[in-house]
Amino acid sequence: MEKTVFKDFASMVFSKDVMKEYLPKDVFKKFLEIKESSGTLDKTTADAIAHGMKEWAISKGCTHYTHWFQPLTGSTAEKHDAFIDSDDEGKAIIRFDGKTLIKGEPDASSFPSGGLRSTFEARGYTYWDYTSPAFIRNGVLCIPSVFVSYYGESLDKKGPLLKSMALVSEKASELLRKIGYEDVKKVTPMVGLEQEYFLIDRPLYKERMDLMLTGRTLFGHAAPKGQEFDDHYFGAIPTRVQAFMKEVNEELWKLGIFVKTEHNEVAPMQFELAPLFCDANIAVDQNQLIMDILKRVAHKHGYACLLHEKPFDSINGSGKHNNYSLVSDTGVNVFDAGKSEKDHLKFLLFTSCFVKAVDTYPELLRLSAANPGNDFRLGCNEAPPAIISIFLGDYVESIIDEVVNGKTKETTSTTIEGLSYIPKDATDRNRTSPVAFTGNKFEFRMLGSSVSPSFPNVVLNTIIADSIDEFLKTIEDKKPEEIKDIIIAFVKETFEKHSKVLFSKNGYSEEWVEEAARRGLPNIKSSIEAIAQFDLDKNVELLTKHKVFTKVEIDARKEVLAEQYVSSISLEVKSMLYMAESYIIPFMEKEIRGYKEISESVFAVKRKDLLVSYLDSLALKLDTLRATYASVSIIEDSVEKGLKYRSEIVPMLADIKDIINDYEKIANKEIYTLPTYPEMLY
């Protein structure tokens, strides 16, 4: 590596190797033991690690440190403190001890808490998450942390993720041990996240206030030739984009993120980046860094990086694919069909648990992919439908079918054996499915591009842990030799009971929507409707039983999500009014005035009349929007308000967009000076 472009790989990470170098041997050993057993750090060890971490950070030119955490805003937060302090005599010294490493007290009052902190206690604390490595960014040592209230309620995205990881580890390890994998001590959810994004020229971006404020263009007429943008896919990546990608890669490599960047096939100026999979919490941390670095590097290269799910109407939006598997400390992937009969049984058992979990908690999974931007994608024939279903692939389905249809034992076991030949590439033919089996992992494809992938993984971990737990109960007092038959019976039962969630045809089709309704599968069309179902009895029971959330935390999170929905629509309303009144209407008026002079031409009269009709119709619709918005905004309950926004305000915004688009189509481009889609995308 020394002489290659990768020589700086992980140079900004306090990795295991760096720890080994900077910590006394016994401290390093102790740390590994504590980490392995998920134990608590004692003061001596913490002080020693803090010392090593500080020495390393200062050697890299750091002056500050911060507890880096993920509040419910969905982005990350940090408060920088200098390593420098004064001693008793007022002399400058460098100070950073175990206590500072472990615990922080950020000024937390401005982070959303869904009322948690105002009802209890205003303070919030951050605690070091030693399972994710510390790293350096912009001369600041960043210490990944969880964020909790005075009474210990989670105020962030990381705390529940760590809890759900411990939960699924406990249940999956126990099950693996019971079915012949005696050495397993730990199981880790492994996650690989594919991230999509758009790049557009920064000067154009800055001329579109809607894009800057809301993340998307509130109107915009597609390019004259329509949606035939496919030709872009085949074109080479422009040199400027290449320079951008090179720097993104280098920045991410320094942070120890194994990333490959690739051109995306969907829309012009849309790209995708996928790091290698790793432990779920690290993958989530890395995704936050990736989103941040994409934006910063884009800025440097004269671009704006758009992470919104639907920045451009009528052009495919951006998502995030969450590739998920469970892997033991002994290297067993539960979703790998393997070669032996033992492996096949394990595969069918865990796959059954997964199918049962998804079919039992579709509302929660749907919620985990819900955010206002994603409402423009899910169910809109370019992204998975809003209906949760699983694509297993014909091969896996046919085998399960045989098990379910009660073949003789011999047939069953030969068929199960056949699983080892699943061609990994051939399992992923269906791109329209929200959840797909892809060789040795499940890919959850519903996530929005802009949001933290933490909650989807909390949900995946918890629902699978729950089905595993239920299965464990059925084999509690069974002898090892009885277990094989119980597994086969369970697989059979699961696929009889839960086959309604399996679907392998075109998920974009109207027939599927009808078929899914017949099957009784929920079709939750918008994020606010998904949020409203967060506290369904079964969800509360699941999440509290496994101690992933308390009821109070669920209520708080539901409130935060609903508030975020409401704020996001409010911002769109205000931005739309601003854009229409400050730009569009003046453009129209100016153009109409211009026709006065040539009014004897039949063409000019017609055109002027058309412009006047657009102007009147737009003005009328803006008035209605203003009035409706005012009347709905007085509703106090956030969920209720959000639902009203969704049913009344969102359609009005779409309606106004249509008129502006009609106008833009014929507008005099010397007058209509806002950047248009063709200008922004080519």
How far apart are CB 327 and ligand ADP at their closest, in Å?
7
Residue 84: in which H helix or E strand, if any? strand 84-86
Minimum CB distance to Mg ion, residue 424 (Å) = 13
Q: Which does 325 bind (CB under 5 to 8 A by kind): Mg ion, ligand ADP, none?
A: ligand ADP
Interaction between residue 318 and ligand ADP (CB under 6 A): no
Q: CB-wise, 190 or 463, nearer to ligand ADP?
A: 190
CB of 440 or CB of 504, closer to ligand ADP: 440
Q: Which stretch binds ligand ADP (CB under 6 A): 63-71, 269-277, 301-309, 512-520?
A: 269-277
Using CB under 6 A, which residues numbered 483 to 542 contact ligand ADP? none
Q: Residue 547 contacts by C-beta under 8 Å, 6 or more apart in sequence? A: 163, 167
Torsion region of 135: left, alpha or beta (phi above 0 gives left; psi -120 to 50 gives alpha): beta
Q: Any contact of residue 276 with ligand ADP (CB under 6 A)?
A: yes
Dihedral angle computed from the Cα positions of residues 125, 126, 127 and 133, in that order, rounded to the nearest 10 degrees: 180
Place of tokens 């004692």: 42
357-382 as b/e, with b when 16 or more CB fall inside 10 Å?
A: bbbbbbbbbbbbbbbbbbbbbbbbeb
Q: How far apart are CA 347 and CA 330, in angstroms?
A: 16
Q: Candidates 114, 192, 319, 448: give the one binding ligand ADP (CB under 6 A).
A: 192
Residue 116 sits at φ, ψ, to 5 deg, of -60, -45
Other beta carbons less than 10 A from residue 505's beta carbon: 14
3-state secondary structure of 168: helix
Restricted to residues 29-58, the positions that interact with ligand ADP (CB under 6 A) are: none
The pattern of x and - marking residues 134 through 173 that bind ligand ADP according to CB under 6 A reads ----------------------------------------
Counting contacts by CB under 6 A, is residue 122 touching ligand ADP?
no
Q: Output 126 or 286, the one with its CB closest to ligand ADP.
A: 286
**Half-sphere exposure of residue 594, counting CA atoms within 13 Å on the CB side?**
12
Which residue has 């990881």 as its token pair? 165
The span from the CA of 296 to the CA of 305, in Å, is 8
The sign one gets for the Cα dihedral 601, 603, 609, 611 is negative
Closer residue to Mg ion in complex, CB, 323/564: 323
Based on the shown chain and the rule CB under 6 A, indicate whether residue 194 belongs to the binding site for ligand ADP.
yes
* Chain residue whose CB lies nearest ligand ADP: 192
By the rule CB under 6 A, 440 interacts with ligand ADP: yes
Out of 128, 244, 277, 490, name the contact with ligand ADP by CB under 6 A: 277
| CA–CA distances in Å: residue 17 to residues 12, 14, 21, 30, 541 | 12, 8, 6, 15, 43
Choose among Mg ion, ligand ADP, none what residue 76 binds, the Cβ cut-off being 5 to 8 Å by kind: none
Which of 261, 270, 287, 325 forms a contact with ligand ADP (CB under 6 A)? 325
User: CA distances (Å), 564 to each of 1, 199, 525, 528, 568, in order?
Assistant: 45, 25, 17, 10, 6
Per CB under 6 A, the list member of 188, 333, 427, 449 interacting with ligand ADP is 333
Region of 9-17, 45-53, 272-280, 344-352 interacting with ligand ADP (CB under 6 A) = 272-280
Q: Is 323 in the site for ligand ADP (CB under 6 A)?
A: yes
Angle at alpha carbon of residue 350, lines to 348 and 351, rounded to 5°: 60
Q: Which is nearer to ligand ADP, 440 or 638 (CB)?
A: 440
* Token pair listed for 186: 């730990």
Which of Mg ion, ligand ADP, none lies near 557, with the C-beta cut-off 5 to 8 A by kind? none
List the interface residues with Mg ion, window 305-344 (CB under 5 A): 321
Note whether 441 binds ligand ADP by CB under 6 A: yes
Stretch that binds Mg ion, among 18-26, 105-113, 189-197, 252-260 (CB under 5 A): 189-197
- Binding residues for Mg ion (CB under 5 A): 194, 321
- Binding residues for ligand ADP (CB under 6 A): 190-192, 194, 274-277, 321, 323-325, 333, 440-441
